[in-house]
Amino acid sequence: MPGVTERVERLGPATAERDAGRVEAREGLAMLRGRLVAASFLMLFVELALIRWTGANNIHLAYLTNFVLLASFLGIGIGFLRAESGPELFRFAPVALAVLVGFVLLFPVELTTLAGPNQLHGAFGWKPLPQWLSLACVFGLTVAVMGCIGHGVARIFVRFRPLEAYRLDILGSLLGIAAFSGLAFLELPPVAWGAFAAVLLAVLLGRSARWWQLAALVVVVALLGVESTAKYDHWSPYYKITAHYYGKPISVAGIRASGVLVVSANNIPHQTAYRVRTLKQIERFYFFPYRHIPRSRLNNVLIVGAGTGNDVAVALSQGAKHIDAVEIDPELQRLGARYHPDRPYQNPRVSVHIDDGRAFVERTHNHYDLILFALPDSLTLLSGQGNLRLENYLFTKESMRDVRKLLKPGGTFAMYNYYEPFLLDRYAGTLDTVYGQAPCVELGDPLGGRRQAVITAGTGATRNCATPWHGRHLSAPTDDHPFPYLQHREIPRFYLKTLGLMLLASLVLVRLAGGPLRRMTRYIDLAFMGAAFLLLETKNVVQFALLFGTTWFVNSLVFAGVLLSVYAAVETARHVRLPHPTILYTALFAALAVAWLVPPDSLLSLDPVPRFFAAVALAFAPIYLANLVFAQRFGGSISSTTAFGANLLGAMVGGVLEYLALITGYRFLLVVVAALYAMAFLTSRLRVPASAQ
């Protein structure tokens, strides 16, 4: 330390010793700050990785949108509640992570067939674990992993003033999102995620790391390495894609076919690519839409859900002069380009667009003779938040109206899939409303409880239609309630049971691991804030999916935007004297009222740039104000870790309340958010004064 040495010569050893101590203290504080940022980085990175990875190996998680997210909140909350008591749990994080990875890989749940009594299988030909046991184990192990990591974060968190700690935690979380988004952008497999987390865990354990901890991290990376090097697996930003290519002839539906590509996504049968001549024999529905439009009219065709290329190959065979092929998953399109036997993506008449279908429809200025929605049925969820599958916004009434605007006079729209009876009526009824006439419905082969069907409508009378639709008019999905697969506006019984058991387990675990619940009563207002904030974040994730597409990139930007808004609020609270809480709450309720008065779909008519700025203002103004309220209250908390733990457990309740959207739609969540913040305001006014705590 040259500066200290110089002061020794001038001022003497006593003064120099004090200065050296200050320098060492500053360096120690800087290291502690860096450690908190790194631990928070690890916490969010592992949470995002688990949400993505567990859903790729266990199909039960395809139906529970925020299951792993809620388990993560519970674990982190318990870790924070134990920050100032009990043994250090962070040292057990490598073992907990190894056990979770081992369990998921040893007991996966795979859908191998869409019909018959034995549709589900586990590893090595075993029967899968019962659903309740599989989900319970994933839930418990996720709580354990995130609880251990959360405890490590909390023990550093408590050494800072509340707002300084929160600021560093948000900074680490931002870096965690950026890192995971970068790995997704590069389409790296889980071994890269595991190696990244393992190295950071080892660094945080430091010189105190024991052999068994390092061995557990090696096991994590080795297990994920075995999975990631599986010969037939590919990892896209959305799926674990398992692709088998059969170059030699195989038997399919009683005929011999060669050049067959079979694709599963997240352990669910997804697509099979055949030659056009094979499709004419075994999948004739691909050709039904062309009965209703002359070949001379196929100048411009749009295919949404182009996938591995069957629909593109058929359109080319029918004489399409130009095709816009839209596919959200880049790996599916690449597999089709490489392996589809007819090589449709190599044809110069085809333009490929890797994009969300609804977003493409909103942005394009082209008009089409034929628009196809080609089997866009993903079962893949938008994120750990929001009950949206990737394709939900394609099927809303508003989307169908936008599609009609893209049709040329006399143009034709068609969609096909294997539909349950109610879903067929829902879609056909929606087209009846949009086009003002009953669509043509042509039925094909059954598959389990579904029926193959092609639904065709047009701007004029549907040509050559022998079977117009005569069914029940069911409520159409809308941009506010985009749940076409939900038969009635209700929370399914399976969800209610699962969520109820999760909340019960949470109460038990919080009591056992976190001590008496009365510790958190002084922070009940922060729990209400946590529930409200989670719902507000969910609303924004869904809103941006509607406005800019359900792509992983949009999703990452929303999460980053939320954290930046939080960070800005914390910095404001640290450097500016905030007004009385009543004023902040009033501003927050005003921002929520504005967001309510401006429906998200009203912004779709704007050009992309003004739409973006309007969406940001509507979405992030309430988040910023909500976090000013939170920062003001959190900054005055006596126990920052207990306060933060209460906030996280409140967020878990908010994740449960998210399912109300299945009944009310997403816009109504703003009313729930306002009610929760009102409860936070009331309980904050009634809480015990600090002097008496």
Q: What is the DSSP string of 169-212?
A: HHHHHHHHHHHHHHHHHTT--HHHHHHHHHHHHHHHHGGG--HH
Q: How far apart are CA 240 and CA 510, in angstroms?
A: 34
Per the model's pLDDT, the better-predicted residue between 63 and 245 turns out to be 245
- Which DSSP string do the residues of 520-531 spell out, in sequence order? GGGGHHHHHHHH
Residue 679 has pLDDT above 50, yes or no: yes
DSSP E strands: which ranges in 305-382? 323-327, 350-354, 368-374
Residue 384 has pLDDT above 50, yes or no: no
Domain positions in the chain are 2-233+489-692, 278-377+397-458
The predicted model gives 191-200 an average pLDDT of 96
Q: How far apart are CA 239 and CA 325, in angstroms?
A: 20
**C-alpha distance across the termini of the chain, in Å:** 45
Q: How far apart are CA 544 and CA 608, in angstroms?
A: 12
Residue 88 has pLDDT above 70, yes or no: yes
- Report strand pairing: 323-327 vs 350-354: parallel
pLDDT of amino acid 276 = 96
Q: Which two tokens stand for residue 581?
A: 């809480």
pLDDT of amino acid 115 = 66
Q: Which helix (H) or strand (E) holds 569?
A: helix 552-575
Please report, to the nearest 10 degrees, the dihedral formed by the alpha carbons of residues 561, 566, 571, 573 taken in order. 150
pLDDT of amino acid 293 = 92
Please report, to the nearest 10 degrees, the dihedral formed by the alpha carbons of residues 356, 389, 184, 218 taken in order. -170
Average pLDDT across the chain, whole number: 88
pLDDT confidence bin for 53, thresholds 50/70/90: very high
What size, in residues, is the chain?
A: 693
Residue 22 has pLDDT above 60, yes or no: no
Please write the tens of the pLDDT for every residue from 594-605: 999 998 888 888
Which CATH architecture best describes the domain 2-233+489-692?
Up-down Bundle (1.20)
Residue 264 has pLDDT above 60, yes or no: yes
Q: How far apart are CA 417 and CA 454, in angstroms?
A: 7
pLDDT confidence bin for 690, thresholds 50/70/90: very low
pLDDT of amino acid 25 = 57
Q: How far apart are CA 138 and CA 479, in angstroms?
A: 33
Give residue for tokens 């729209």. 413
Give the burial string for 479-491 (b: 16+ CB within 10 Å, else e). bbbbbbebeeeee
Q: Which two tokens stand for residue 76?
A: 């982190």
pLDDT confidence bin for 27, thresholds 50/70/90: low
Task: For residue 530, give the nearest of 641, 445, 647, 631 by alpha carbon.
Answer: 647
DSSP 141: H
Task: Give percent of the chain with pLDDT exceeding 90.
Answer: 61
Please tell me the CATH code under which domain 278-377+397-458 is placed.
Answer: 3.40.50.150
Angstrom CA distances, 113 to 118, 207, 216, 485, 509, stand at: 8, 50, 36, 20, 38
Q: How far apart are CA 385 and CA 544, in angstroms?
A: 13
